Amino acid sequence: MNFSLQLHLTCLILGILGLGLFSDPAVASEGPWQNLNPGSGGRIIGIDLDETVPGRAFYSSDMEGIYETRDYGESWHFIGAGLTHGHGFVVKSDPQNPQRLYCGTLYSLEVSEDNGKHWQSVRVTEGFTIGHIAVDKNDPKFVYAAVGYRGRPPEARPHKKMKVYQSTHGDRVVFVSHDAGKTWRKIGFAAGEGWRGCYGVEVLPDGSVVLAAGDGVYRSSNHGLSWQKLPLPPGQKACWGATVSPDGKWCYAFFTPAQPGRQGGAKTRLYAASLTQSPCSWQDLGFPRNTAALYTWPAMDPRSTANEHRLLCSPRSKRDGLYLGHISHAGGKISVRWERALYWGQGFWGPPQATAPAFLTSWEQYSPRALAFTFTPSSWKRPGIWTTTGQMLYSVWTDRPNWQSTWSNRSSKLVKTWPVKHGLYPVRTWRTRGVQCTYTYMADAFKNYMIQSQGDNGALESWDNGYSWTSQTRPATWRGTNSMCNLIVRDLNPPVVLAHTSWGFGAGAEEGHLFAKKLIHFDP
């Protein structure tokens, strides 16, 4: 029997026999399988807040699937079991029938009529990666689905391709329904072949639709049946996302002189155009915070007024947090003020003290790279922001004083702060709010101690029988913190735990190292 199989069987037998594996009263020692994870761990691709049901939100991940919360992210439950493909990008609900959901996945558009209990793939979309969906909230029989890779095109990293079923180049199409998802049509929005990926689709108050495509911004005035391309700003060739003010009068978009779909080395500037002018003329607003980077899909605050707009963006090409822009149209001139809404530096045991925020940053040790973000809908009582940091989900109410220091983790919840420091901070252990983690290569357990090797999340440890976890106590090396295997040697006195680390994981792993420590006190 090989080592890997033996280890997995050991863990499985422990679970089946119920040999005191779970000591916390919230977790049964016998009965149904339990989710023993610190929460999250896969890249969060999309965050969608329900405009009809306050507190309801959807979370889409590359490896975890899709989840729903009904209590503002306090808890989550999985709703993606029936999807044809589990790699989720976006979830939208029908404002007149909240049980009806539309989900974009790596393989197709899928529709559920029972809040995710069952899903039906839309045949005409099969093979197309659906990254963006818009439902007309004033007339929800009109639904639009756009091809999009949410910044993960296969060409961006040829040695680590994201498998897609249809080529990223070809006829450029959107999918349109005029009967609330019962039937769908594939509509070409541009002549000829080209980069298929889009970066957003929005319905305006007058029912017209704006599509941020790879080669520019398009608009439809007949519910998606035909499209007209807006002029490009001078010298620009590609668009990386657009958003529209709540009154439908102003469009903001990121443009770059690089070719459509090209991610490596591309840098995007923010432009603004009045949609009441024809043809529209773009005004260059520059790089957010004067930081040259690749910015994608800006998000508009639905509480913006006619002359004061707020939008979110993030430099995708660097871990520099989340930016909040205040754009004023007072006096017929546009002025912009930027602030960083969320940020901390990267340290081995947590944020360096020089950039450590006032709130706790959970078990993930990376600096934040916000790949998905949104404002709370105007139908929710309080204004707020939800964002990812890469693998984690955070939210904040922006009507609080000094709100930037009050972010809350919506993926994990703190279980215990131990009376011992590891590095700069006390050891803190975390438990999932219901979401799963990416994948665990190996796990082992002895008495109250458990360890799991979780790929690029490294080695995670627990001292309460798997109820809560931390990465603070992982092997202290910057020379590759990824981990793929572990083993507890019980025959030694005291027992010894072994953990592997490397650069990369899976077949691409390099520079493997083996670490060991004695299990004496069975606590941090």
Residue 34 reports pLDDT greater than 60: yes
| pLDDT tens track for 411-437 | 999 999 999 998 889 999 999 999 987
Q: Average pLDDT of 471-495?
A: 89
Q: Average pLDDT of 42-58?
A: 94
Q: Sign of dihedral through CA atoms 248, 171, 155, 284?
A: negative
DSSP structure string for 246-276:
TTS-EEEEEEESSPTT--TT---EEEEEETT
Q: Which pair of structure tokens corresponds to residue 524?
A: 């941090």
What per-residue confidence (pLDDT) applies to 4? 36
What per-residue confidence (pLDDT) applies to 161? 52
The residue with tokens 């990008």 is 89
Distance CA 391, CA 41 (A): 5
What per-residue confidence (pLDDT) applies to 28? 46
Residue 341 reports pLDDT greater than 90: yes
Residue 331 reports pLDDT greater than 50: yes
Q: Are 189 and 218 in contact (CB under 8 A)?
A: yes
On the 0-12 / 13-18 / 19+ scale of CB atoms within 10 A, 236 is: buried
pLDDT: which is higher, 428 or 262: 428
Q: Which of 164, 155, 146 is nearest to 106 (CA)?
A: 164
Q: Are 146 and 131 in contact (CB under 8 A)?
A: yes
Q: Average pLDDT of 486-502?
A: 96
Strands 77-78 and 250-256, by their bridges, are unpaired
Kindly state whether residue 93 falls inside one of the protein's structural domains.
no
Q: Which of 444, 484, 412 is nearest to 11 (CA)?
A: 444
Distance CA 370, CA 426 (A): 26
| pLDDT tens track for 53-91 | 999 999 999 888 899 999 999 999 999 999 999 889 999
Tell me the CA distances in angstroms from 338 to 6, 291, 324, 327, one per residue in order: 55, 11, 6, 9
Q: Average pLDDT of 287-294?
A: 96
Kindly state whether residue 444 falls inside one of the protein's structural domains.
yes
Kindly state whether residue 150 falls inside one of the protein's structural domains.
no
Q: How confident is the model at residue 97 (pLDDT cuts 50, 70, 90)?
A: very high
Residue 37 reports pLDDT greater than 50: yes
Q: Which amino acid is residue 180, in one-letter code?
A: A
What per-residue confidence (pLDDT) applies to 477? 76
Residue 5 reports pLDDT greater than 70: no
Q: Are 384 and 376 in contact (CB under 8 A)?
A: yes
What per-residue confidence (pLDDT) applies to 423? 84
Q: Are 442 and 484 in contact (CB under 8 A)?
A: yes
Kindly state whether residue 458 falls inside one of the protein's structural domains.
yes
Q: Which pair of structure tokens corresponds to residue 3?
A: 């080592």
What per-residue confidence (pLDDT) applies to 14? 34
**At residue 194, what are phi and psi to the nearest 5 degrees?**
180, -165
pLDDT: which is higher, 363 or 120: 120
What is the biggest distance separating any 2 CA atoms in the chain, rounded to whole angstroms? 80
Kindly state whether residue 149 falls inside one of the protein's structural domains.
no
- For the chain, the domain total comes to 1
Q: Are 72 and 53 in contact (CB under 8 A)?
A: no
Kindly state whether residue 486 falls inside one of the protein's structural domains.
yes
| pLDDT tens track for 102-139 | 999 999 999 999 999 999 999 999 999 999 999 999 99
Q: Average pLDDT of 327-337?
A: 94
Kindly state whether residue 12 falls inside one of the protein's structural domains.
yes
Q: Sign of dihedral through CA atoms 125, 217, 304, 295?
A: positive
Q: Average pLDDT of 315-334?
A: 94
Give residue 103's region: left, alpha or beta (phi > 0; psi -120 to 50).
Answer: beta
Q: Average pLDDT of 305-311?
A: 97
Q: Sign of dihedral through CA atoms 278, 247, 394, 441?
A: negative
pTM of the complete model? 0.92
Kindly state whether residue 7 falls inside one of the protein's structural domains.
yes
Structural domain span for residue 444:
3-34+439-518
What per-residue confidence (pLDDT) applies to 154? 53
